[in-house]
C-alpha cells in the first residue's frame, strides 16, 4: 500500500520569543521579509532577504530561493502577508516553512 501525498504544513510562531528562537536555531534558514521595499529599509531582521509577497512566482522563487528543502522563516508587518507568502511557497513545493508572523511590536534589534 502506498502512502497518500502529503502537503507539508506551515509551522506558525506562537510568540516573538519562539520566532527569535527559530532564527537563532536554524542557521541554514533563509529569513524572508515579504513586505515592500519601503518597509524593509525602515528596519528588518538582520540577514533577511527582501521578497515582496506580490512578486512571488515560480520564476522569482527559483532565482532567490533555489533549494526547496532549505528552511524558510517568513515574516511581514502584521502576519497577513507572511501567511499568504507561506501558502505560495507551499504551493511551489517548499518543504520547510515557518511563519514568524508580523514585526509589529517586535522587541528585538532590527537593522
Active site residues: 76
Report the distance separating Cα 30 and Cα 71, nearest Å. 6
- List strands edge to edge, sheet with 49-50: 11-12, 97-102, 72-76, 30-33, 49-50
Handedness of CA 62, 110, 83, 14 (dihedral sign): positive
Contact 55, 34 (CB under 8 A): no
CB-CB neighbours of 107 under 10 Å: 7
Amino acid at each position: 500500500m502506498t502512502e497518500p501525498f502529503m502537503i507539508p504544513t506551515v509551522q506558525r510562531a506562537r510568540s516573538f520569543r519562539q520566532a527569535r528562537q527559530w532564527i537563532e536555531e536554524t542557521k541554514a534558514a533563509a529569513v524572508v521579509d515579504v513586505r515592500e521595499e519601503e518597509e524593509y529599509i525602515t528596519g528588518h531582521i538582520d540577514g533577511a532577504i527582501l521578497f515582496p509577497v506580490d512578486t512571488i512566482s515560480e520564476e522569482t522563487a527559483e532565482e532567490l530561493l533555489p533549494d526547496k528543502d532549505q528552511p524558510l522563516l517568513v515574516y511581514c508587518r502584521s502576519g497577513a502577508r507572511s501567511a499568504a507568502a507561506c501558502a505560495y511557497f507551499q504551493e511551489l513545493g517548499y518543504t520547510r516553512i515557518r511563519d514568524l508572523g508580523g514585526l509589529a511590536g517586535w522587541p528585538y534589534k532590527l537593522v
